């Protein structure tokens, strides 16, 4: 029995080596046939020249991989352009919304005015000036961008004693055009104030300021009650 088993195992080993040799020979034959083929090899997108004729150090799927890389890159570029365009639109709508200013006149014990012509009022004490649209030296706000703006001002004067003439007129101006005004002309009140708030659509570069009308005066504002402020309510792209 032992001898029979050894013989069987020997036969199986011999057959295995034979079939391996046959398979290896068959693969070599197929490889050689492909290498010697003179027509087009149907490789399904693989690099046939590389696969069968120059396999060392060669990527057999170089062309598909390159095409995939190029397609991915172009797609990423397209997404980047779309995101950049979206960001520009968002900036156009919401960018630069922090536009606001607040300023008061320098405290005085005497009077500002009268003058022989209308004079722009300089509100020099600036507590807020976001986007730097307000120029305290000139008392002028220049719109940094188009939009709907809200402006407020307060006019205050104290002539000191009853019977003295309280006589002032202050105008809110837009590029030389009168938008609103506040005035007082009486001898019954020694002290008075008034406030106005207006909404103005402005183009970029429009200027808004307050002026004291000729012959009028503002007196004894020791607390900075005369004030001028404004802010961007929302931007406008086409006005």
Quick one: how far is CA 58 from the chain centroid?
48
Please state, in angstroms and rounded to a whole number, the distance separating the CA atoms of residues 124 and 226.
11
Nearest of 136, 167, 144 to residue 229 by alpha carbon? 136
3 state DSSP class of 17: helix
Identify which has the larger pLDDT, 222 or 163: 222
User: Does the pLDDT at position 5 exceed 50?
Assistant: no
**CA distance to 30, 40, 54, 56, per residue, from 59 (Å):** 21, 19, 10, 9
3 state DSSP class of 112: strand
User: Does the pLDDT at position 16 exceed 60?
Assistant: no
pTM of the model: 0.61
**In this predicted structure, which of 14-28, 86-100, 106-120, 129-143 has the lowest mean pLDDT?**
14-28
What local confidence, expressed as pLDDT, does residue 237 receive?
A: 79
Non-local (6+) Cβ contacts of 73 within 8 A are none
Nearest of 211, 96, 212, 102 to residue 150 by alpha carbon? 102
Q: Which residue has the tokens 């938008």?
A: 179
User: Does the pLDDT at position 220 exceed 90?
Assistant: yes
What local confidence, expressed as pLDDT, does residue 230 receive?
A: 98
**In this predicted structure, which of 75-84, 121-130, 187-196, 202-211 has the lowest mean pLDDT?**
75-84
DSSP string, 147-209: EEEEEEEEEEEE-SSTTS-EEEEEEEEETTEEEEEEEEEESS-SEEEEEEEEEEEE-TT-EEE
What local confidence, expressed as pLDDT, does residue 84 receive?
A: 83
Average pLDDT value for residue range 37-61: 61
Average pLDDT value for residue range 77-102: 78
**In this predicted structure, which of 28-37, 78-87, 103-112, 169-178 has the lowest mean pLDDT?**
28-37
DSSP code, position 124: -
Average pLDDT value for residue range 215-221: 95
Give the chain's mean pLDDT.
81
Q: Which domains, and CATH codes, for the chain?
A: 100-235 (2.60.120.40)
CB 181 within 8 A of CB 170: yes
User: Does the pLDDT at position 30 exceed 90?
Assistant: no
User: Does the pLDDT at position 23 exceed 60?
Assistant: no
Average pLDDT value for residue range 35-57: 62
What local confidence, expressed as pLDDT, does residue 189 receive?
A: 84
Please write the tens of the pLDDT for every residue from 162-179.
778 999 999 999 999 999
Confidence of residue 9 (pLDDT cuts 50, 70, 90): very low
Nearest of 96, 103, 98, 99 to residue 229 by alpha carbon? 103
| DSSP H/E element including 11 | helix 2-35
Non-local (6+) Cβ contacts of 39 within 8 A are none
CB 220 within 8 A of CB 109: yes
What local confidence, expressed as pLDDT, does residue 194 receive?
A: 95
DSSP string, 67-101: HHHHHHHHHHHHHHHHHHHHHHHHHHHHTT---EE
């Amino acid at each position: 029995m032992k001898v029979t088993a050894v013989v069987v195992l020997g036969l199986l080993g011999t057959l295995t080596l034979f079939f391996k040799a046959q398979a290896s020979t068959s693969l070599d034959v197929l490889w050689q046939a492909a290498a010697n083929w003179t027509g087009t090899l149907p490789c399904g997108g693989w690099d046939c020249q590389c696969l069968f004729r120059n396999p060392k150090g060669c990527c057999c799927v170089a062309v598909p991989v390159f095409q995939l890389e190029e397609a991915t890159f172009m797609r990423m570029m397209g997404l980047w352009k779309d995101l950049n365009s979206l960001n520009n639109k968002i900036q156009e709508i919401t960018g630069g919304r922090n536009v606001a200013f607040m300023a008061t006149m320098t405290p005085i014990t005497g009077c500002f005015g009268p003058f022989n012509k209308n004079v722009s009022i300089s509100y020099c004490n600036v507590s807020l000036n976001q986007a730097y649209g307000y120029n305290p030296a000139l008392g002028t706000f220049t719109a940094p961008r188009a939009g709907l703006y809200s402006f407020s001002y307060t006019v205050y004067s104290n002539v000191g004693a009853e019977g003295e003439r309280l006589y002032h007129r202050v105008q809110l101006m837009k590029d030389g055009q009168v938008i609103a005004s506040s005035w007082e002309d009486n001898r019954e009140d020694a002290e008075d104030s008034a406030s106005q708030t207006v909404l103005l659509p402005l183009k970029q570069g429009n200027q808004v300021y307050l002026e004291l009308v000729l012959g009028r005066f503002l007196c004894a504002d020791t607390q900075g009650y005369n004030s001028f402020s404004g802010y961007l309510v929302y931007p406008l792209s086409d006005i």
